[in-house]
Structures are given as C-alpha cells and as structure tokens.
Structure 1
Amino acid sequence: MKVVAYSIKPFEKEFLSRANQKKHDITLISNPLSIDTVVFATGKDAVVVFSTDEVTAQIIEYLANAGVKFIATRSVSTNHIDVPATGKFGIKVANVPVHLSGDVAEQTAEALQAIADQTIINLDMWQQNKCVGDACACAKRCRTSVSGKH
C-alpha cells in the first residue's frame, strides 16, 4: 500500500519503521496535513495523520479525488477528522485505541511502539479488505449512512 504519513516527529520514525517492516511504501513527512500539503497524498492509497491535523471536508474531498481510500490517525480521537465527509466520499477511517496520558514526546518506547504497531495493523487490514474492531472509527459512525445498518 502506498502511504503518506503527516506530522511525523523525529522520534516516531524508528517505531513506524520497525512496525512496518517494509510492507508498505510509506513516505514520512514532518509537515501537518493541510490544504497546502494535501498534494503529497496524490497517488497514495492511504494517509496517516495525527490529532493536530485538521482533516476537513475540503481536504477529504481532495484526498478522495487524489485516490486516497483510507485515513489512519495515530490518536484515539477522530474529532479532528470530518468523519461524515469521509463516509460521503467512501474513505475509511481508523484510529489507535491506545490511551496515553501526558505529552506524546514523553511517552515510553513501549507506548510509542504500540501506536506505530496499531497504525501498521490498520494498513495491513485495509490491504486485506478488512477492518480492525475498535480501530474502525468509521464503522461505528458511518455504518448507518453507508449501509443502512447499525
């Protein structure tokens, strides 16, 4: 899967690399996802974001037109993503159901590896046309609008 990961901190690179094990073609950039940087997603299957990236309906429309099918956030919350817009454009969303306290930069290596591992698991599952239980944010919120079921 071709992926661009936004808002990557220097200390995250090793954890994501270890979790990925060269399975996915991931471009890591430190810039946040914005209307100015969304162009980096062109030709990608997925984007990886963080809670500081505001994934608006305008950005989601651009992502969909660029061919992006998946948004994985490296956070528990999906409040920074316009989830109804992802449903409208058929983009699946997954989060990392790992609760951390305090500043992410001060987290233990174990917690940071857990976040990276879950992010890659989400990509792996999508590549297999599956989703990951509690990590499928859109499955919880978009099911009614997408399939008519609860």
Structure 2
Amino acid sequence: MKILIYSAKDFEIPFLEKANNDQFRVKYIADRLTPKTARLALGFNVVSIFSSDDASSKVLELLWGFGVKYVILRSAGYDNVNLKTAERLGMSIANAPDYSPNAIAEHAVALLQTVNRKIILADTQVHNYNFLLDNLIGFDLYKKKIGIIGTGKIGKLLVKIMHGFGCEILANDVNKDDSLSEKFDVEYVTLKNLCSNSNIIIIAVPLTTETHHMIDTKIIDCMKKDTILINIARGAIVKTEELILALKSNKIRAYATDVYEYEDEVFFYDRSQNRPKDVLLKQLIDLPNVVLTPHQAFATQEALTSIAQITFSSIICWQNESTSPYELTEELVITRD
C-alpha cells in the first residue's frame, strides 16, 4: 500500500516513522487536504488526515476518483468527514479514538489553573521584577462546583481529576453514566441547570449538529458572573461572536480554550510574519480574561506515540483485507459516543 499523509507536522513525523517501521511506502506533505490538494493523492491507496483537513463529500469523491480507498484520521474528532458519502462510495474511514484522553483532560486542568492562579500575569510581572500579589489572587478548587459537559472518555477522566481536588461535580450528557454518580457523587442535570450552578464549566463533547454553537448567548446568560469556561473539545461548540460580547461585558469571568471556531489554516502554522485577517481571533487574543493555546492538548509523547500506532494498525488491517477496530460508520459512531 502507498500512503499519503496530509498536514504532516515536523513534530509528529518521527513518531509516525517509528510506528511504520519501514513496512509501507509513505509520503509526508505539509499541505492540508482540500478540493485543490486532493489531486496529490493520485496513485495512493491510503491517505491520512488531521482534524483541520477537509474530508467533505466533494473531497471524498475526488479521492475516490483518484484511487484512494482508505482514509485514516490522526485524531479522535471526525466532524470534518462526511461519513454518509464515504459509506455510499464504499470508502473505509477510521480514526484514533483512544490515543490519550489523559492528555486532553490534563490540559483542561492546566488551562483552568492558568486562569485561576493568574500564571501568565504572574510570569509577566516577575520578568519585570514586579513581585506584588495584588493582581494575582485566585481561589481554591476545593468544594467548588464543576460542570462537565460531556462524560465520554475525556469527561470521565475530568470527573476523576476534579473529584480528587474535592470539587462538587455536575454533569450533562445524553447518556448518563451511573457509575460516575455512584463512585464520584456526580449529579446529572440539564445544561441550563449546570450552567446556572457551576463555578467552572468544562466542555468535553464532540462537535455534532446538536452541539454546534451549543454555548450561545442564551446559555451564557444562565451562567454566574464569576464562571470560568474551559473548552478542550471543538471551537464551533461555542458561538464565538456571542462569547466575545459576554467576555467584554463581564457576563462571565474568563474563557480558556485549546480550540477556536475558525482555526483552519491558522493553528499548527507560524503566522507571525503573515498574520491572519481574522477580527474575532484578534479580539480573543487581546482580551485579558482569555487564555488561548494552539490546539496542543494532544501534544504529548504518549499521545503522539499512540496516534501513530493506531494509524498504522488500521492500515495493516486494510492491507490484510480485514476491518479496522477503529473504523467509522454512522451506526458505530452513535454506539461509541
């Protein structure tokens, strides 16, 4: 099998090379998969893509015409893939669902404490030899109410971590997990109830038609004014324009996120010399009550190793004309979530 890896990043290539172990012919390109770059897959059996690549109906049909029969995502999220078109074409799609939920959950806590304990401001002050504490007052997490939206693999880990801090935990999910209620005293409530009663809210749901712009003005208006909102899921779950207005008017205390609604062609690239003309992104970056990291939650050695291994394990299955355990169909997706 010949494999083309789109959106290949310098930091991930060594992990992919090690996992491949010279089994397959692999070509790495930095280009994102788009309608224009789909032609680069001519002559390849398999393409591997990332969360920022375009695997819409049009692109999948182009790939199929060029001879691509398999697509493997180097991510857990698959909202950029049209699964209906893939099934109609007979194209196999797989993702990397369990590469390291720990990496994502731990990053959420890092974002929370960065905002809460004013770490960035403290570092800036110290570099200017200002050792005053007046602007650096945070709060204990102990006994605070944490609202976790989504109790899938990452959400479950967040429950365990926040329970360890001694927090009271509220949760919202279409599928309740009774074991979390039994072991960690998690109380499942409606989204509005969660938002109106939580000091900290963490978004950990996949992006779907149901969760797109889930966090909008109506939901934000339910939140307390001292709420810290954390997003380690997908940028488009939050309606960015309405969130910015809420932050500017101090309707919530702060927003810390590893994702951005319009991050395609921005995140994972050095844009310091060619800054994107994105007014919303600039407003987010400039707000003093926002912490934004560049979709780096997955970037741990363990996670990158796992992603690479899962990627090639699916390819080996396909080479052997068997089904990968990570293949995505609409039916399986509903079961997994």
Cα displacement (A) at 1:131: 2.0
The answer to whether the aligner puts 1:136 opposite 2:322 as a matched pair is: no
Q: Do the aligned partners of 2:34 and 2:55 also contact (CA within 8 Å) in 1?
A: yes
Q: Is the 8 A contact 2:47 2:71 kept in 1?
A: yes
Q: Distance in 1 between matches of 2:32 and 2:23?
A: 24
Task: Please name the residue that 2:311 is paired with.
Answer: 119
1:132 positional shift: 2.6
Aligned residues: 141
Question: What is the identity, as a one-letter code, of the residue corresponding to 1:126?
Answer: W
C-alpha separation in 2, matches of 1:81 and 1:119: 16
Counterpart residue type for residue 317 of structure 2: M
Distance (whole Å) between structure 2 residues aligned to residue 140 and residue 104 of structure 1: 30
Distance in 1 (alpha carbons) for counterparts of 2:314 and 2:296:
20
SS of match in other structure, 2:329: helix
Residues 62-73 of structure 1 mapped to structure 2, 5 A cutoff: 62-73=62-73
5+ residue gaps, structure 2, are 108-294
Higher fraction of helix: 1
Residue in structure 2 matched with residue 47 of structure 1 by the alignment: 47
Decide whether aligned partners of structure 1 residues 93 and 106 sit closer, same or farther in structure 2, where only a CA change above 3 A counts. closer
Q: 2:318 and 2:296 mapped to 1: Cα distance? A: 26
3-state SS of paired residue (2:44): coil
SS of the residue corresponding to residue 71 of structure 1 reads strand
CA offset digits 1:57-81 (Å, max 9, x no partner): 1111111111110000001121110
Q: Note closer, same or farther for the CA distance 1:56–1:115 as it changes in structure 2 (3 Å cut).
A: same
TM-aligned CA deviation for residue 105 of structure 1? 7.2
- The 5 A counterparts of 1:78-89 are 78-89=78-89
What root-mean-square deviation, in Å, do the aligned CA atoms of Structure 1 and Structure 2 show? 1.8
Structure 1 SS opposite 2:310: helix
SS at the partner of 2:71?
A: strand
Larger Rg: 2
Q: Distance in 1 between matches of 2:68 and 2:38?
A: 11
Q: Distance in 2 between matches of 1:76 and 1:111?
A: 11
Give the SS at the match of 2:30. coil
- Using the alignment, how far apart are the partners of 2:13 and 2:297 within structure 1? 13
2:52–2:80: 8 Å Cα contact kept in structure 1? yes
Mark the CA change 1:130 to 1:139 in structure 2 (over 3 Å): closer, same or farther.
farther
1:4-23 equivalence runs, <5 A: 4-23=4-23
The question of whether the paired residues in 2 share the 8 Å contact of 1:72 and 1:119 is answered with yes
- CA offset at residue 56 of structure 1? 1.0
- Where in structure 2 are the equivalents of 1:100-111 lying within 5 Å? 100-101=103-104, 102=107, 103-104=295-296, 107-111=299-303
Structure 1: runs of 5+ lacking an equivalent: 143-150
- Secondary structure at 2:11's aligned position in 1? helix
CA distance in 2, matches of 1:104, 1:84: 30
Change (3 A) 1:139 1:106: closer
Give, in angstroms, the shift of residue 109 of structure 1: 1.1
